[in-house]
A and B are shown apart, each in its own frame.
Chain A
Amino acid sequence: MNWLAILDVAMPGPQVTPDEKGFAGWIIGVIVAALIIVTISVVCIKKSIKKHKEAEATGNVQAETGKTEEEQIKGE
């Protein structure tokens, strides 16, 4: 079953064209995709800021790259 069939319930009536239903489905997809990307980004930003603050407090030279000393050595 096409999951967009749920829009038949959400958008009843003959005035809604298949084009509009397709676009509505796409909009739902955009909202879901945006929420997932925003969540991942916020987590990454918070982690990086936390790492930076920790590195700054300990005087770690890796503060600029956001990598731990171990990661830095591995990369090199």
Chain B
Amino acid sequence: MIYIFAPILAPFLALAGTIGLTLAIEYPIIYCTGITRNGRYIVAVNALTNVVLNAGTILIYAISFFNFVRSNGPGIFMWILLMEFAAVPICEALLYMKVSEASKKKVVLVTFIANILSFLIGLVIVGLFTGKGIHGISDFFISVKGAMRWIN
């Protein structure tokens, strides 16, 4: 039984866990700042962007796991940076603008702040799992610096 359910349930739980963590941080910010009071919409937007980000990260990791390329650790860092600081907040802001009565400037600003906060708290949580704690944040950016050098 475990052979049937583990490969199906484990990815669901992993993705649902990351969506839950993101929502725990972003939902109150988006709701309380009055960007939108449509809870279902906030959950759907966050689930969509989060799944694309995390499934993409896992797929990039898989490429190096199966030795398709020499090492794509830097690729993962670039992907996370590009998604967390550009693609995800921009997509979320555009989606919130469709239902929000707030000004565009406010929507963009609040979405960016919410995303950067959830990214930093996510790094701390990953840091706790890897025994680095809050230093997980600086470790990530040191890795990014290394990745930049690797690209050059």
Q: Which of A2, A4, A30, A44 counts the most chain B CB atoms within 10 A?
A: A30
Q: How far is the CB of A49 from chain B (nearest CB, A)?
A: 5
Query: Main SS of chain B's interface residues?
Result: helix
Q: Is B141 an interface residue (CB 8 A)?
A: no
Q: Is B45 an interface residue (CB 8 A)?
A: yes
Query: Main SS of chain A's interface residues?
Result: helix
Q: Mark A51-65, 1 if CB is under 8 A from B, else 0.
A: 010000000000111
- Report yes or no: B99 in contact with A34, Cβ–Cβ below 8 A: no
- Report yes or no: A37 in contact with B51, Cβ–Cβ below 8 A: yes
Chain B residue nearest to A45 (CB atoms) is B44
A38: B residues at CB distance < 8 A: 48, 51-52
Q: How far is the CA of A31 from the CA of B15 in the complex (A)?
A: 11
Chain B residue nearest to A65 (CB atoms) is B37
Interface CB pairs A-B, < 8 A, 10: A2-B3, A4-B7, A31-B59, A33-B15, A34-B15, A37-B19, A37-B48, A49-B98, A64-B101, A66-B36
Chain A residue nearest to B38 (CB atoms) is A66
Q: Is A48 an interface residue (CB 8 A)?
A: yes
- Report yes or no: B48 in contact with A42, Cβ–Cβ below 8 A: yes
Chain B residue nearest to A25 (CB atoms) is B7
Which of chain A's residues 9-63 have a Cβ closer than 8 Å to chain B? 20, 23-34, 37-38, 40-42, 44-45, 48-49, 52, 63
Interface set of B (CB-CB < 8 Å, partner A): 3-4, 7-8, 10-12, 14-15, 19, 36-38, 40-41, 43-45, 47-48, 51-52, 54-55, 58-59, 62, 65-66, 95, 98-99, 101
Q: Which of B4, B44, B59 counts the most chain A CB atoms within 10 A?
A: B44
Q: How far is the CB of B108 from chain A (nearest CB, A)?
A: 18
- Report yes or no: B62 in contact with A33, Cβ–Cβ below 8 A: no
Interface set of A (CB-CB < 8 Å, partner B): 2-4, 20, 23-34, 37-38, 40-42, 44-45, 48-49, 52, 63-67
A64-B52 contact in complex given A26-B7, A30-B11, C-beta closer than 8 Å: no
Q: How far is the CA of A32 from the CA of B51 in the complex (A)?
A: 11
Q: How far is the CA of A52 from the CA of B62 in the complex (A)?
A: 40
